[in-house]
Structure 1
Amino acid sequence: MIAGAAATRLYSYLLFHVFAEVFSVIIAGSIFALAWNTRRFQKSDLLIFIGIAFLFTGFVDLVHTLSYHGMNILPDDPDIPTQLWTAARSLEAAALLAAPLMLRKKGREWTIFAGFAGVTAVLLLSIAAGIFPACYIAGEGLTPFKIAMEYLICFALVLAGVHFWLNRDAFDPTVLSFLLAAIAATTISELSFTLYVGVFDGFNMLGHLLKIVAFALIYVAIIETGLQRPYDLIFRDLARTEALVRKERDTAQNYLDIAGVIILALDPEGRVTLINRKGEELLGLPLSEILRKEWFYTFVPKADQKEVLSAYHDALNGKSGFETHENGVISADGTVRDIRWANAILKDAEGRPIGLLSSGSDVTEENLSKEALRQANQKIALLGSITRHDILNHLTALSGYLEMAKIKPRDETFLEKAGAMARAIETDIRFSAEYQRMGSSPPAWQNPVPLIRSCAAEQGAGEIVQVEIAPVLIYADPMLRKVFCNLIANALDHGEGVSRIVFAAEEKDGGLVIACEDDGIGIPPGEKEIIFSSGYGKNHGYGLFLIREILAITGILIRETGEAGKGARFEIFVPEGKHKKE
């Protein structure tokens, strides 16, 4: 660009002069346009101050261009364009010197505009009226006033550079570097204007070339850099503020992520606007697949949607009752978890509801434990009643047999029957004590594989018991081990020569089926259900009865599906939500 401008000098100095001045006028107008249209987003009046200053400086430069010797547009007096040049540079130097003072001021753009308009008007009127001191005399060259003003302008520009440097922390380093370079180029340009004699000589041309350089640097500093990196425009505080906000946001998100509860925010339409890492883990989805999704229709079970959505809208409309709520939440794998929510309606400055902020605790295990303990207590109460009834019956029979033994002391039959009743009472009491342990502790997630293997080793059946179950956890009463021990004992005691007991598992009908299969004589069709009755069999009926009761605490079922003559097969059905991969 500079080479092109210099080349125009070979054709016409006036063309070169117009090119140099119009370039600076366009840059000045661009700076003003950018500053004026972004003033609402600026933290101080610095940029708008520079923009307004360059607008009026550019206007004076335009008048200077039109009045230049040889243009024949305004009166052809070589002193007038020199006066206008001096006025423009004085205005520019004064503005750059005062600009850093605007770093801590805001909202005074119209005052600044009026001030520069007034000063510019005074300068132009003084030149038009002949009051402004002479700066150039044809045939003699520059006046002492013009030379003194150029040195004064240079001094002011140097002070402006120092002023900017002292306030460097408020500026982007790149922008500051270009501004200081522009001030330096302007200073050298002004020094060259102290040396020329004719308005068309080499020093005059050098001064205009340096002015092109100076305005090009200002263009890069404010226009190009400002538009390409709007967050770093002129002063670095904007970028610092953004970084601070980002840091505070990330800090707040970190706090939310380490919280032991789910943090969820919804907009008035029920769309997710915020969720923490605990919530992501519960749903089994990344944040990008959760945000903006409709919470109630996407993550709440269909059976609960109507009730929960209605309660949410009631809360938005000011009705109470939604402060705490409990409902199921569906994860990506289809698992439903029970979540207890503490809700708060978010409101704007006018008090209008704008959404919901909730913290949720996963109470699935708690609810399962409560239900399991409730069922266990019911079963224990029922068994207590049954056991007391059985013991009383056995005591009545025992008393009768003892009385008959007194009457017929030589007949040992009654003593044997009395002994059998006593043993039956002992069995009832022992079983009652064992049964009472069921439900005494809350259910837990347990891996059946080590439980089965320890039972097999305990009963000396390690060689014939095979376990073909992948790592899995079952939610069951702590007495789950006794279930597997009793199944192995039942096969060994009643299978008549069992040589193989296999435990296997497969997913079926939405749940998990754990099968215990042996190669014994099996169970006759008519006895497949009654074997689980209390007291059935040869002192082992309580074992299968106890198995069913232990499993039923957490909703697990058991049945016998084997084929008589080929072996027994007990199937334990673990419903959905009561099993998971380890």
Structure 2
Amino acid sequence: MALLAISIFLTYYFHAILMLGTVFSHFFYIPIILTALWWEKRSILVAIFLGGLVVISSVLYRPDLLTLNDYGRALMFVVIAFVVASLSEQLKGREREEKKQRDLAQRYLDVAAVLFVVIGADHTIRLVNRHGCKLLGYREEELLGRDWFTAVVPEASREGRRRDFDAAIANNAAFPGRRENPVVTRNGDELILAWQDTVFTGDDGRAAGIIGSGADITDRIRAEEALRAAHGEANLYLDIMAHDINNANAVTLGYADLLVEALEGKEREMARKLRGGISRSIKIIQNVSTIRRLHSHETTARPVDLDAVIRDEIAHHPDARIAYEGKPVRVMADDLLPEVFANLIGNSIKFGESRAEIAVRVEKGDGTVGVSVEDTGPGVPDAVKPVLFTRFARGTSARSGKGLGLYITRTLIERYGGSIRVEDRVPGHPECGAAFRFTLRSDRTPEPPVSPAPAAGRMITARP
């Protein structure tokens, strides 16, 4: 309004006072452009007013000097107002759309239950969502514009994180994957965030900053630490208990063996039952230790000599009738593989007693090795087969155990990447014996030279 008043005064001063035909109307473009920027199309009325002012003033005070130039100048005022107003309208429309998109993005970020932050290449915080402010204990205006590393990164890791940030900006690539990053709240509490970020670029294609997101996993980390501590303490108690029970069992087993040798008749049979109970106690402790090792992931698969494992297990049963044709095969397993054969051969002996014949067969396949343990015992009823390998599943005979042996066997084989099933040794006749068949992954590395094994060829251990 001040510029319009000045324009009116200048027009009157040059025409009425100085009696000059020339008015310095270039000055009039300033109010016209400003009103076009501020008022958009309404600035055309201002341009018409100023153009008309020049023409009417000339007509009133110096009509002899009125020329086509004055009409052209008035028309130019209107054209300039229209063009600038149109451009201003487009720019403001883009600004409104950008603001709408920013507000929409901000609303999306605000409803997210994780921290979202945009950090510029100069380390300043450009944007932070509502949950991030709440998590860090600041208001949004207290964080915007501040140095991210100075404001929220712990001093101990500040320089390292700053170097990683600058390297990501320089390479235009953020650190891949998720990682755990600590942050410090306004109250000085340290939180651990599951952090992931990405670099964003400007219009010139250069890295302009990093967009980061972090989920608070402090409680989970502390719970895991407490769980590990409790797990370690429980394992300590189990180790002490297993050690002491095994020592007691060893002593008791020694005395039971002496009683079996010294007694006769019914007393000897009672001593044998006592010895069997002690053996079952030892087996329970062994199963518990095996399950602990299974769930602790202490070992990883490596090449294992399958032939040596089978021969060692057969050697533990010198009185059993076991047929096995040795084959130098290596499979991917670990130190717990003998448990598979201990359970399968042990079950065949336990259920079949002295009359059962056991056959162990190994067949090489394409990347796998098939193994079967067959016996001529009482077999497995069809109703039991589907649940035989589940935890605590038991057979139907009086000799059925606690249901852990075959569960451990299945768990181990699946851990090695194989599978196991039970079938009838003679299809359709469960009473003719059981056949446990499973697969293992073969070792694809070149096999080392195999030294001659004792009792090569077909090996049969028979009862005397």
* TM-score above 0.5, yes or no: no
Answer 1 or 2: which has greater helix percent: 1
Answer 1 or 2: which has greater strand percent: 2
Which protein shows a greater Rg? 1
